[in-house]
A and B are shown apart, each in its own frame.
Chain A
Amino acid sequence: MDRRASFDNLWLAGALVAPQILLVVVFFYWPTLQALYWAFSTQPPFGGTNQWVGWQNFQQIFTDAVYWNSVRVSIIFATLSTALSISMALLLALMIDRQLAGHKAYRFVYFWPYAIAAPAVGLAFRFIFAPDAGFVSAINQLAPNLWNPALKGWDAMILIVIANSWKMMAYNFIFFLAALQSIPRGLIEAAAMDGSGVLRRARDIQIPLLAPTLFFLLVINITESFVDSFGIVDITTGGGPARATDLMVFKIYSDGFKGLDYSMAAAQSIVLMLLVIGLTFVQFRYVEKRVHYA
């Protein structure tokens, strides 16, 4: 990133980056260090300074069935919502990319869900899927409590997966469509002239060329499902019933702010942080590959 022409007032250069560096240190690095410290120490019950306890907090969470439950439901949530939102988005993007009549109007509306706040999405779906109102509860007329996310763990999981996928579908759609539109038109036309039909072209040209985008979206969706799920869970299920939707982020929040157990919350934060770092590295490696590709 060297340019030949540049300015040399270094005081100014420093002053320009100072505000953001200050914010990053105070609100990102400092809290991260503090989380690390808390994760390796405990607070005495009657106050005073923290005592260093080594790996004890981690041992405690890793032997805790409640913690493993939150890991398990987080993985289920991430897998299901990633699969659902990506496959729907891919299908819709391929359809829109055919540019039949009206595709612009459809495309326009497909963006909308991504603009809506997670708790608003959660509340809308909580109503639609409510056990005693809305629409889905109509099936309860067949048999009582056939559908009840307030009582059945899997129903609650399905509810948050659908709400999350609805929002992420719009995001994935935007990326798939952008990638499809960057495929050279000549390629598609040449294939068409060679007699390959719409489906054949989708299978042999478009979907293979979408592979980098697909991989990128997989990583982003998994990361988002692990990290950014609080809004939906908090307003729809609150982690219940019986911890069936007690996702990792939600558990950190409830242990930290409801249980006031900072050490346990910090240890869980560190685990989640390592997970995010790992996923980000996977993504960066891919980004580098993609630069060569393009």
Chain B
Amino acid sequence: MRDGSMIERAPILNAVTHVLMIAGLLIAAFPIYVVFIASTHDLPTVNRVPMPLWPGDHLVQNYATVWNKSDFGAKMINSLIVATGVTIGKITLAALTAFSIVFFRYRARMLVFWAIFITLMLPLEVRIVPTYAVAADVAEPLRWLVWLFGLELGIAPINLLNTYTGLILPLVATATGTFLYRQFFLTIPDTLVEAARMDGAGPLRFFWEHLIPLSRNNMAALATIMFVYAWNQYLWPLLITTDARMATATMQLQKIVPGPLFGQPPVWNEAMAATLLVMVPPLLVVIFMQGAFVRGLVATDK
């Protein structure tokens, strides 16, 4: 029983609460609504100040223009491939790593855990230039490793620029995901492990037949936040794709508007149509997976 159902008379306060909640609704929804409305008008209408707040009749035309002009469909598919790849990669790696450090006993496992956990302090934004250099030639660290052992091998450069691998792989390591899975695996009772071993299950069968089904909630929570994270990536795809065919929808927004604030104004109706297209997929994930999304967010960021 919370305030709402408590018998308590506070009419003024309740009125204020409703007003604030409606104000919050306007603040949260108004920008999204404006993007939608602006994407349904022709250019002169959209440039009127203030812009009308009811939909116009150019919706189909604007979206068709954006879709064709910058080959947006292909970019949406690229985004989908990258977001799905990153999500699956993160879940897989997180589950495997956590399985190893929780269910096996070896000295280095705390080292492994910390080596992954510390990457939280090294976000992409602070190592962009050298990470770009690595993506341009992934064999470089390997060459150094070989050189440390006194050898000199001609290892051919491996270039990840303009590839799906390059868009996905550097984003796949996950400290938060590994941490979440570790916390979950720690709650699995020892008796379950013992029972499985008694049935003659080896580690991989135990992982596949017991842990994976048990961690379904965990997986859903992680998948929603990681999909949203990956779809919304901007800086990394911007750096490593020079080929327009590899561009993702999110980074494509930069190409649709002319330079920031200066120069000629953007073609706002088309820009807003593109913005809405980029907004929709992660928004749908949050709308339909609200519970999992909130759980994932609150559980991983602690």
Q: For chain B, what secondary structure do more than half of its interface residues adopt (helix, strand, loop), or is it mixed?
A: helix
Known: A35-B130, A273-B126. A24 touches B116 (CB 8 A): yes
Is B102 a contact of A28 with CB atoms below 8 Å? no
Which among A20, A239, A249 is the interface contact of B178 at CB below 8 angstroms?
A: A20
Q: Is the pair B275, A24 in contact by a Cβ cutoff of 8 Å?
A: no
User: Is the CB of A266 closer than 8 A to any CB of chain B?
Assistant: yes
A17 touches B32 (CB 8 A): no
Q: Is the CB of B127 within 8 A of A5?
A: no
Type the 1/0 row for B90-108, where 1 means its CB is closer than 8 Å to any CB of A.
0001101101111111100
Known contacts A99-B2, A112-B32; A16/B105 CB under 8 A: no
Interface residues of A in 107-124 (CB under 8 A from B): 108-121, 123-124
A54–B47 CA distance with the chains assembled, in angstroms: 54
Residues of chain A with a CB closer than 8 A to B298's CB: 174-175, 178
**Are A132 and B250 within 8 A (Cβ)?**
no
Contacts of B290 in A (CB 8 A): 108, 111
CB distance from B175 to the nearest CB of A (A): 9
- B172, CB-defined interface residue at 8 Å: yes
Contact B2 A188, beta carbon cutoff 8 Å: yes
Q: Which residues of A (233-288) have their CB < 8 Å from a CB of B? A: 234-241, 249, 252-253, 256-257, 262, 265-266, 269, 272-273, 276-277, 280, 287
Q: Are A5 and B46 in contact (CB under 8 A)?
A: no
Q: Which residues 19-67 of B have a CB within 8 angstroms of A? A: 20-22, 24-25, 27-29, 31-32, 34-35, 38, 46-51
Bound Cα distance A216, B266 (Å): 39
Interface residues of B in 185-239 (CB under 8 A from A): 186, 190-191, 193-194, 197, 202-204, 206, 228, 231-232, 234-235, 238-239
Given A119-B250, A132-B47, check contact A5 B294 (CB 8 Å).
Answer: no
Q: What is the bound-complex CA distance between A34 and B135, given in angstroms?
A: 13
Pair B123/A227 contact, Cβ less than 8 Å: yes
B286/A237 in contact, CB under 8 A:
no
Determine the distance from Cα of A72 to Cα of B299 in the docked complex, in whole angstroms.
34
Smallest Cβ distance from B1 to chain A, in angstroms?
A: 6
Taking the closest CB of chain A, its distance from the CB of B283, in whole angstroms, is 5
Which A residues are CB-close (under 8 A) to B115?
21, 24, 29
Question: Any chain A CB within 8 A of the CB of B151?
Answer: no
Nearest B-chain residue to A155, judged by Cβ: B261
> Within the assembled complex, what's the spacing in Å between the Cα atoms of A104 and B228?
22
Q: Judge if A220 is at the interface, Cβ distance under 8 Å.
A: yes
A-B contact count (CB 8 A): 360
> Given A17-B112, A236-B261: A134 and B282 within 8 A (CB)?
no
The proximity string for B residues 275-302 relative to A, scoring 1 for CB distances below 8 Å and 0 otherwise, is 1001100110111001001100110011
Instruction: Tell me whether A257 and B234 are in contact (CB under 8 A).
Output: no
Q: Contact at A98–B47, with CB atoms within 8 Å?
A: no
B286 touches A31 (CB 8 A): no
Contact A28 B254 (CB under 8 A): no
When C-beta atoms are compared, the residue in chain B nearest to A165 turns out to be B27
Chain B: number of interface residues, binned into ranges: 35 or more
A109 near B25 (CB under 8 angstroms)? yes
Query: Closest CB-CB distance, A270 to chain B, in whole Å?
Result: 8
Main secondary structure of the interface of A (DSSP, over half): helix
Q: Out of B13, B100, B101, B202, which one reaches A198, CB within 8 Å? A: B13
Considering the chains assembled together, what is the distance between the CA atoms of A106 and B46 in angstroms? Answer: 29
Contact B103 A7 (CB under 8 A): yes
With A7-B203, A120-B250, A240-B262 already in contact, the answer to whether A253 and B49 are too (CB < 8 A) is no
Contact check, B28 vs A156: say whether CB atoms are below 8 A apart. no
Complex: A228 Cα to B59 Cα, angstroms: 33
Complex CA gap A23/B172 in Å reads: 8
Are A124 and B32 interface neighbours, CB within 8 A? yes
| A-chain residues with CB within 8 Å of residue B259 when the two chains form the complex | 238
B2 contact set on A, CB distance < 8 A: 97-99, 185, 188
Contact across chains for B130 and A118 when beta carbons are under 8 A apart: no
Q: Please, could you name 8 A-B residue pairs with CB atoms under 8 Å apart, sorted by A?
A: A10-B104, A25-B141, A27-B134, A117-B253, A117-B278, A175-B297, A266-B130, A273-B121
Q: Footprint of A on B, CB under 8 Å?
A: 1-6, 8, 10, 13-14, 17-18, 20-22, 24-25, 27-29, 31-32, 34-35, 38, 46-51, 93-94, 96-97, 99-106, 109, 112, 115-116, 119-123, 125-134, 138, 140-141, 169-170, 172-174, 178, 182, 186, 190-191, 193-194, 197, 202-204, 206, 228, 231-232, 234-235, 238-239, 250-251, 253-254, 257, 259-262, 265-266, 268, 271-272, 275, 278-279, 282-283, 285-287, 290, 293-294, 297-298, 301-302
Interface residues of A (CB under 8 A from B): 1-10, 12-14, 16-17, 19-21, 23-32, 34-35, 38, 88, 91-92, 95-103, 106, 108-121, 123-128, 130, 132-135, 137-138, 140-141, 149-150, 156, 166, 169-171, 174-175, 178, 185, 188-189, 192, 197-199, 216, 220, 227-228, 230-231, 234-241, 249, 252-253, 256-257, 262, 265-266, 269, 272-273, 276-277, 280, 287
List the 4 closest pairs (A to B, CB-CB), nearest first.
A238-B260, A99-B4, A31-B130, A117-B232
Given contacts A6-B103, A20-B178, A30-B130, 12 further A-B contacts (CB under 8 A): A5-B190, A6-B105, A12-B204, A16-B97, A100-B18, A106-B24, A114-B228, A125-B31, A134-B268, A188-B3, A257-B128, A273-B126
